[in-house]
Amino acid sequence: MSPSASRKRRPLLKLFAVLVLLVLVVAGGAGFWAWQTWVAFHEPFGKSSTVAVEIEPGTSARAILEELERVGVLENALYARLFLVHRLGDPALRQGEYSFDLPAAAPRVLAKLIDGDVVTYPITILEGLTLEETATALSDEGFGDFERFVDLMRDPSRVADLDPEAPTLEGYLFPDTYRFAKGTSEAEIVDAMVANFRRRIADSVLDDLSDDWSLRDVVILASIVEREATLDSERPTIAGVYAHRLRIGMGLYADPTIIFALKQMGTWDGNLRRPDLKLDSPYNTYVYPGLPPGPICSPGLSSLEAAVKPPDVPYLYFVSRNDGTHVFARTLAEHNRNVDRWQRQYWRERWARERAKR
């Protein structure tokens, strides 16, 4: 190559070197900016607070993210959208009521929306409630419509495999503390209660069923035990007393079964009277021997476990001490003495003390 040609190429080489340097600088700057953006995106954002946001049905992902940016949950809705689409595969964001504890990193916010980790509200369904009382408890706390609940609970199809004879879900709505999101349907709530019943009895009850007892029999007996017992420690003994009566063909003489019949008739006023003991109802275990036609309430797990394997006890009778405990007796004569002591005498003394205070 001649010296003149070499001199001509030097400016081109310099220009090329400058261009390469510029590309490297731009690329490096872009890479640094992308790295900074990535780091910032994963850093907690927002002022220390709790922000409530309700996502209405049908709201697009873009609109959801823009709303979260507007209220200060996300720093940049566009970056969040790009991350959602290109990094996470564009999953659906779920509707509902959300509560965001800030500061929070954007990926954590997105995960909450994807999982549908919405705000839930607690409701406690007590042991011993009837189907209608359960519906009342749910509707009074704003979880749905009473009539809708009752209609669903009177449909036995949800437990047809467990109890083909069940005319309703009485006894199969497991008492527990539940948490439901706003907008949860009555059907979803009833489904949850029946599913909970299935889970709870899976091991401790179903595995202990004998050839002589169906699950229906166990639930019926457990529902009576639930209404009679206050202390878990006494449930097995009370179940044993009723099992003893059934074995010898003696009537159950269970007051709660008559109370259930009166509730179904709409005449229960909180007081069981002597004429009620003669009520002509298949639920009157003073008149009709054996188990009543169905459960009289929703029993808890302790009552179910007591009923599935009732102990062999010598007792045939029991009476309340009016403090949650009971006195058990082997003979009618012994029982009558206990009744005199813990019912007649107890109440005479109590009323006398109350009169003395006036």
pLDDT tens for the 358 residues of the chain, in order? 555 555 555 554 454 444 444 444 444 444 444 445 555 567 888 888 899 999 998 999 999 999 999 999 998 999 889 989 988 899 999 999 999 999 999 999 999 999 999 999 999 999 999 999 999 999 999 999 999 999 999 999 999 999 999 999 999 999 999 999 988 999 999 999 999 999 999 988 998 898 889 999 999 999 999 999 999 999 999 999 999 999 999 999 999 999 999 999 999 998 999 999 999 999 999 999 999 999 999 999 999 999 999 999 999 999 999 999 999 999 999 999 999 999 888 878 778 887 887 7
Q: Are residues 68 and 176 in the same domain?
A: no
pLDDT for 16 equals: 45
In a domain, 339, yes or no: no
Report pTM. 0.82
In a domain, 158, yes or no: yes
Residues 231 and 324 sit within 8 Å (Cβ to Cβ): yes
Alpha helices in the chain (DSSP H): 3-41, 61-70, 77-82, 106-115, 131-140, 146-153, 186-201, 215-228, 235-247, 255-265, 301-308, 332-339, 346-357
Left if phi > 0, otherwise alpha if psi is -120 to 50, otherwise beta: which for 54?
A: beta
Q: Are residues 64 and 195 in the same domain?
A: no
Q: Are residues 280 and 140 in the same domain?
A: yes
pLDDT for 307 equals: 97
| Cα–Cα separations (whole angstroms), residue 357 to 346, 347, 351, 352 | 17, 15, 10, 9
Q: Are residues 257 and 159 in the same domain?
A: yes
Domain boundary among 69, 86, 115: 115
Q: Are residues 238 and 279 in the same domain?
A: yes
Q: Number of structural domains, the chain? A: 2
> Around Cβ 140, how many Cβ atoms within 10 Å?
10
Q: Are residues 109 and 144 in the same domain?
A: no
Backbone angles phi, psi at 116, to 5 degrees: 70, 35
Token reading at 287: 């008149």
Angle at the Cα of 106 (from 100 to 109), degrees rounded to 5? Answer: 35
What are the residues facing 329 on neighbouring strands?
317
At position 318, the amino acid (one-letter code) is: F
Long-range contacts of 350-354 (CB under 8 A, 24+ apart): none
Q: Report how far apart the first and last C-alpha atoms of the chain are (Å, whole number).
A: 129
pLDDT for 6 equals: 53
How far apart CA 113 and CA 296 sit, in angstroms, is: 42
Which residue, 334, 348, 252, 236, is CA-closest to 296? 252
Q: Are residues 192 and 246 in the same domain?
A: yes
Q: What range defines the domain where residue 181 resides?
A: 131-313
In a domain, 81, yes or no: yes
Q: Are residues 141 and 248 in the same domain?
A: yes
How far apart CA 106 and CA 85 sit, in angstroms, is: 14
Q: Are residues 187 and 292 in the same domain?
A: yes
Helix then strand then coil, % of the chain, to nearest 5: 55, 10, 35
In a domain, 156, yes or no: yes
In a domain, 56, yes or no: yes
Q: Are residues 73 and 167 in the same domain?
A: no
Residue 11 CB partners (closer than 8 Å, separation 6+): none
Q: Are residues 245 and 295 in the same domain?
A: yes
pLDDT for 60 equals: 94
